Amino acid sequence: MHLAMTKAISVVVILAIGAIWGCTGTSSSPKSVDALVIEPGRGIAGVCEIGMKQANVKTAIHEWGRGQTTRAELAPALAAIFFVEKSTTIEFIRFFVQPYKQSEFEIVTPFAGSIKGGPCFSGNRVTPKEVEGYFGKLITVRPPISFNNGQLTNSYCVVDGTGHEELWYRDRGVAFYVQSNIVISIGIFSPSSLGSRE
């Protein structure tokens, strides 16, 4: 009787830890997407990261979307679209934290994990103010943007006047795309590329 009670309590404790784990845990298995952590400048370690071969991502996630262009592929299990170079290595990843649909790409179930050193997206609607609380205050600029005249350095917010904003932390390899004051997606790139997909 005592052994059965101990086992039952152990199961309850394990389930409670699993429920709490959500955005605070780390995992390399896309089967528990709410526990995945995106690393700025890298992606999801061992699953979908900058410099990884396209084929290795397909092997890691065991699921593939229909959306594809010459340079972009959809990974619905990660709520991501990634962009490849000619050598088929990933150069840019965009994780969607809100549903998304455009031409051949559709994300029905958004990314619900977290970003290392930043907010958790599991059921949360994250604002630009929250992002700046984690990553630092940005200067605001309006298009057209010039990188050559010293207007921009490593961190800035592009506001286009239509409710869209882009929060770029180029030195960290992360950008946040915002619509109507809510983060809709996260861009990951190598800091050395300085966000070539702007």
Domain count, the chain: 1
Specify the DSSP class assigned to residue 40: T
User: Has residue 63 been placed in a domain?
Assistant: yes
Specify the DSSP class assigned to residue 87: T
Residue 105: per-residue pLDDT: 84
Q: What is the mean pLDDT of residues 167-182?
A: 94
User: Has residue 5 been placed in a domain?
Assistant: no
In sequence order, which ranges of the chain are alpha helices (DSSP H)? 2-21, 54-61, 128-135
* CB of 66 closer than 8 Å to CB of 104: yes
pLDDT score of 79 more than 80:
yes
User: Has residue 198 been placed in a domain?
Assistant: no
User: Has residue 8 been placed in a domain?
Assistant: no
User: Has residue 62 been placed in a domain?
Assistant: yes
User: Has residue 16 been placed in a domain?
Assistant: no
> pLDDT band at 146, cuts 50/70/90?
low
Residue carrying the six token digits 């180029």: 170
Read off φ and ψ for residue 39, nearest 5 degrees: -100, 125
User: Has residue 102 been placed in a domain?
Assistant: yes
pLDDT score of 187 more than 90:
yes
In terms of residue numbers, what domain contains 126?
A: 21-192
Distance CA 194, CA 86 (A): 19
| pTM for the model | 0.77
Cβ atoms within 10 Å, residue 184:
20
177: β partners: 166, 185
Per-residue model confidence as pLDDT tens digits over 37-47: 999 999 999 89
